[in-house]
Structure 1
Amino acid sequence: METSGFTPEQLDVREAISKICSKYPDEYWAEHDESGEYPHELHTDLAKDGWIGIALPEDLGGAGLGISEATMMLHTIAESGAGIAGAQSIHANVYATQPVAKFATPEQRQRMLPDLIAGKSRTCFGVTEPNTGLETLKLRTSAKKDGDQYLISGQKIWISSAQVATKMVLLARTTPLEEVGKPSEGLSLFFIDLDKSASGLELKRIKKMGGRAIDANEVFFDNYRIPADTLIGKEGEGFKIVLHGMNAERCLLAGEALGIGYVALKRAAEYAKDRVVFGRPIGMNQGIQHPLASAYMHLEAAKLATYHAARLYDNSSNDGSITQHAVGVACNSAKYLAAEAAFTACERAVLTHGGMGYAQEYHVERYLREVFVPRIAPVSREMIMNYIGEKALGLPRSY
């Protein structure tokens, strides 16, 4: 990857994270993908050096940097060979805490975030539901007030790291959908304990195609009790609050996609230089060279879009000329472009290796399995195109 044009802070992050990740070669990630064992060691090393709180306030123990630097961190983790799995081991701890840091009271921030930054606790993000999927505004998980507590009932799905997390940033409906004027009303955000020994909580691990070192889960709530003081911001305003984290997540996932795309392309180029067929390295053949060159240029273009979006996100808080409309369009565009460029790079890396691309020992098959994630989550390619069609082009809403 060409690194000119990045800020000194971003390059410092890249160098420091690369040193940490050098302890975890591709073989480590292949073994963990095979066994499904969580990469606890990486999380410990990142927490020890303060990286979990890269985009959280310094007064809480964080680094006080921005989503631009956090994107570089996750980009670098993925590019080390850790792929999407390695990045996802701390993904939610970076973006899901952004709404908490911005909208929680000072007392809540001091109570909720320092242990997470220090690596003593971990969080997961509870939004997606099996029956609503991308229709976030129609989610049905309920939070009913009961004195100084809420009772949570419902189901979440595709909750990463819930098996190891002790906290959850949870979006639930405090007013039934039938009783609100607009679907965006009546949703509330909570930062809760995920106590697996308590009644009313059940987790079921989902078997999946790739990134198997990071658990994905169905989470069932049945009158699960949480304290009322876990509510973040005002009751009923959770959707507006959680949007603050969703644009950040698009930047981070774009960075992760770039990382896995670049490492796949690096492996393909190395193989193409070394593999000799008919008396010449296959990389000399334009049938190999041109697809890889094209993949590189598309990654570079997506890289520019990604870090532009992250910069807009960071600067929007103190620059009134940057609208949330502009941030949303940039972050969604970046996620789309990075995911597509990364998928192409990973596919071409497998094809460059020929039959050996299908073998685990060359790792590119693992990259290809994992690179589907940024194309699907947290929002599909098609929904991003719907969004851009409506918000950027002014076309009629299609959904």
Structure 2
Amino acid sequence: MIGARSTSKCLTVGKLYCSTVQAAQCRRFSASVPRRTNTLMETSGFSDTQLQVRDAIGKICSNFPDDYWAEHDESGKYPHELHTALAKDGWIGIALPEELGGAGLGISEATMMLHTISESGAGMAGAQSIHANVYATQPVAKFATPSQRQQMLPNLINGTYRTCFGVTEPNTGLETLKLRTQAVRDGDNYKISGQKIWISSAQVATKMVLLARTTPLEEVKKPSEGLSLFFIDFDKSKPGLDLKKIKKMGGRAVDANEVFFDNYVVPADTLIGNEGQGFKIVLHGMNAERCLLAGEALGLGYAALDRASKYAKERIVFGRPIGMNQGIQHPLAEAYMHLEAAKLATYHAARLYDQSTTDESITQTAVGVACNSAKYLAAEAAFTACERSLLSMGGMGYAQEYHVERYLRECFVPRIAPVSREMIMNYVGEKVLGLPRSY
């Protein structure tokens, strides 16, 4: 079985592309692996490493058919088996340093991984089961001290730890700079008090990447100051920590939660980077998340179109397959083209994100615009694909056994989170078009 670690050996450390000799080896290696992910998506133009990732993840996901996800969606049972399978081969650390047990690959490859998981039929639930472990650890890997990285990341990569990401609060929503959860220094510890909401995987997580206020909002000179980032033990048995599960529309195999802190004690050495600089640090992970979520949305869209196309070829009405009718064919074809366009935007953004770590000519504004644009376009394309796929299948699209209804319920997530469609348009209007700030 191909693992993330073996894939990384085909790379020069820190590079996204193979050398000439290694590239030939990669092609032979990749060609020997049977493709298990549907081929509706055009795969030309991807690097050999991305295609290796796609093949290997597709092989793992083939052990988790659609019925597995339908059952877990209905029961709300967490997909522990998928997390275990991915951790076994090192995929949890796909974009984390090799010296810590990761693969040392980029967000380009991580996006392909989550895209492939979603496209396999696992959808948002499957992807979200490891989502935070991939992107929320990016700021930790970049800004933690060497001893912190050694203490915090290897056990996350091997699956011993699982992390969740604590940013959003019920009374601030998208106003991240107005977060109220406090971390008050008390000797060698911090005491955390406040509330977070929409925290995925908190029921199973043993760690949390937490953004909290170490300086009261009223005392900071700039809104971006006074927030600090922590990587904390998330121990539900300790006093001062409580959870409430949120019932939701889709992706029910992965829990979403309200989290309550009341003088929850964490050691001071869980602080990542400098106190008060947490917002700047966490932005490093937020752009990565935009790319990952875009990939997950694309996977949903392609999965829905694949099912609808097969159904349209097999369903006979009035003596002919319904796929012959332009009323069925054209909406699906248009949805496919939107997905392909969003795919190009998504992998451009991921490549830009990766290259910005070594190319100083690539500004963070350029990365932010690309990542936000990709997330927006992929989410909209996925919604169109899922809606049209369901409608083209008529009553069977509404039936659970065909799974497209599950994809449609889940495709609302990338339209809403982690930032709304409207806020992305605000951002592009201001940063690209130079229009007055509207919020």
What is the CA–CA distance in structure 2 between the aligned matches of 1:250 and 1:288, rounded to whole Å? Answer: 32
After superposition, residues 20-169 of structure 1 pair within 5 angstroms as: 20-169=60-209
> Are 1:258 and 2:298 an aligned pair?
yes
Match of 1:90, as an amino acid? I
After superposition, residues 1-399 of structure 1 pair within 5 angstroms as: 1-399=41-439
What is the CA–CA distance in structure 1 between the aligned matches of 2:432 and 2:98, rounded to whole Å? Answer: 36
What is the CA–CA distance in structure 1 between the aligned matches of 2:251 and 2:403, rounded to whole Å? Answer: 12
What is the CA–CA distance in structure 2 between the aligned matches of 1:8 and 1:98, rounded to whole Å? Answer: 24
What is the CA–CA distance in structure 1 between the aligned matches of 2:387 and 2:316, rounded to whole Å? Answer: 21
What is the CA–CA distance in structure 2 between the aligned matches of 1:75 and 1:200, rounded to whole Å? Answer: 37
What is the CA–CA distance in structure 2 between the aligned matches of 1:325 and 1:364, rounded to whole Å? Answer: 37
What is the CA–CA distance in structure 2 between the aligned matches of 1:233 and 1:127, rounded to whole Å? Answer: 17
What is the CA–CA distance in structure 2 between the aligned matches of 1:244 and 1:181, rounded to whole Å? Answer: 22
List runs of 5+ in structure 2 lacking aligned partners. 1-40
| Local SS of the residue matching 2:247 | coil
Match of 1:174, as an amino acid? T
What is the CA–CA distance in structure 2 between the aligned matches of 1:322 and 1:139, rounded to whole Å? Answer: 30
| Local SS of the residue matching 2:370 | helix
Q: What is the alpha-carbon root mean square deviation over aligned residues?
A: 0.3
- Cα offsets for 1:181-239 (capped at 9, x unmatched): 11110000000000000000000000000000000000000000000000000000000
Match of 1:138, as an amino acid? K
Q: What is the CA-CA distance between 1:106 and the residue it aligns to?
A: 0.1
What is the CA–CA distance in structure 2 between the aligned matches of 1:42 and 1:144, rounded to whole Å? Answer: 38
Task: Give structure 1 regions of 4+ aligned residues with deviation exceeding 3 angstroms.
Answer: none
- Cα offsets for 1:256-300 (capped at 9, x unmatched): 000000000000000000001011100000000000000000000
| Local SS of the residue matching 2:57 | helix
- TM-score, normalised relative to structure 1: 1.00
What is the CA–CA distance in structure 1 between the aligned matches of 2:307 and 2:180, rounded to whole Å? Answer: 45
List runs of 5+ in structure 1 lacking aligned partners. none
What is the CA–CA distance in structure 2 between the aligned matches of 1:328 and 1:211, rounded to whole Å? Answer: 27
| Local SS of the residue matching 2:222 | coil
- TM-score, normalised relative to structure 2: 0.91
Match of 1:58, as an amino acid? E
What is the CA–CA distance in structure 2 between the aligned matches of 1:289 and 1:316, rounded to whole Å? Answer: 41
What is the CA–CA distance in structure 1 between the aligned matches of 2:222 and 2:408, rounded to whole Å? Answer: 41
Q: What is the CA-CA distance between 1:155 and the residue it aligns to?
A: 0.1
What is the CA–CA distance in structure 2 between the aligned matches of 1:153 and 1:222, rounded to whole Å? Answer: 4
What is the CA–CA distance in structure 2 between the aligned matches of 1:356 and 1:30, rounded to whole Å? Answer: 15
| Local SS of the residue matching 2:92 | coil
Q: How many residue pairs align between the two structures?
A: 399
| Local SS of the residue matching 1:52 | helix
Q: What is the CA-CA distance between 1:321 and the residue it aligns to?
A: 1.3
What is the CA–CA distance in structure 2 between the aligned matches of 1:348 and 1:65, rounded to whole Å? Answer: 35
Q: What is the CA-CA distance between 1:251 and the residue it aligns to?
A: 0.1
| Local SS of the residue matching 1:199 | coil
What is the CA–CA distance in structure 1 between the aligned matches of 2:319 and 2:373, rounded to whole Å? Answer: 44
Match of 2:96, as an amino acid? L
Q: What is the CA-CA distance between 1:320 and the residue it aligns to?
A: 1.3
What is the CA–CA distance in structure 1 between the aligned matches of 2:419 and 2:399, rounded to whole Å? Answer: 30
What is the CA–CA distance in structure 2 between the aligned matches of 1:304 and 1:393, rounded to whole Å? Answer: 22
| Local SS of the residue matching 2:276 | coil
- Cα offsets for 1:308-357 (capped at 9, x unmatched): 00000000011111111100000000000000000000001110110111
Q: What is the CA-CA distance between 1:177 and the residue it aligns to?
A: 0.2
What is the CA–CA distance in structure 2 between the aligned matches of 1:270 and 1:9, rounded to whole Å? Answer: 29
